[in-house]
Amino acid sequence: MINQLIDKIKQTGAPIVVGLDPMLSYVPEHLRKKAYAELGETLEGAAEAIWEFNKQIIDHTCDLIPAVKPQIAMYEQFGVPGMIAFQRTVEYSKKKGLVVIGDIKRGDIGSTSAAYADGHLGKVTIGSNTYAPFNEDFATVNPYLGSDGIDPFIKVCKEENKGLFILVKTSNPSSGEFQDRLIEGRPLYEWVGEKVAEWGESHMGTGYSYIGAVVGATYPEMGKVLRRIMPKTYILVPGYGAQGGQGEDLVHFFNPDGLGAIVNSSRGIIAAYQQEAYQQYGAEHFAEASRAAVNDMVKDIQGALEAR
């Protein structure tokens, strides 16, 4: 799957992933009203509104981007109907030819970790039937419990030819409370990065591992260090745009070949119509605003890479 992701990045010239993290406040009023008229102001109504919101954004951006990253919490908050919207989003994205990174940030051990891996990346057998419940292409995972939590995911990834993005240095302001703590004179995130590179050696694609890392755009100097520690690791970079990261902050995450990283933007794209720069589109044309935001993001990143 890492080879497919890289091929899509090369085809589109867009090393970016659109985070499908739909808060109801991002969904234009006309979509909410339509969903509520059909299903009421209910969990079902909310789920229908975010599904239609996602669908239109996918339709307007799928030819420009290689991948999407639905954040599962934004769907779980609406209970079972929300999870159905998540599943529909995954299926529709794949139908449109997009790679799907399930942003699930799971982290547990033993049979629990195996169950998460089977549910999101693998298959389950029920009687004589086998199903792929959510069927994402990649999943994000938390390594805090060590190899006991990661190994079941890697096992499924090898069986299904899928991949992971493991949290190494996250973009949130308080990440340093733990991740920057020194262990034998080096910050914890460096030790985690070394372990990710080690895990990745067991599941290699052509040039890059199926086992990737998450490193926030808000810490470019740390990204430079981690790029050296993990030369064959694809880095998922959150924190672009709304969280402060810009194209010039990202060059250290990429290898000289222009590959090695994929940059995420969520509300900066899906809620672009709410920003001053795209207000001319209005709520009725929110998906066109998202398309314009994707084009601007690609230009920003490619311009920074060419200037380095």
Residues known to be catalytic: 105
Cα(first)–Cα(last) distance of the chain, in Å?
29
* C-alpha closest to that of 133 among 110, 154, 116, 157: 116
C-alpha distances in Å from residue 156, one per residue of 23, 104, 112, 252: 31, 16, 13, 31
Specify the 3-state DSSP secondary structure of 230. Answer: coil
* C-alpha closest to that of 196 among 156, 159, 147, 161: 147
Q: State residue 274 phi and psi, 5-degree precision.
A: -85, -5
Specify the 3-state DSSP secondary structure of 119. Answer: helix
Q: How far apart are CA 118 and CA 165, in angstroms?
A: 16
The token pair at 62 is 């799928």
Q: How far apart are CA 231 and CA 201, in angstroms?
A: 11
- Amino acid present at 305: L
Alpha helix (H) residue ranges in the chain:
2-12, 29-39, 43-61, 73-76, 79-95, 110-120, 147-160, 176-179, 188-201, 220-229, 247-250, 267-270, 286-307
Beta-carbon contacts of 32 under 8 Å, excluding residues fewer than 6 positions away, are: 24, 45, 49
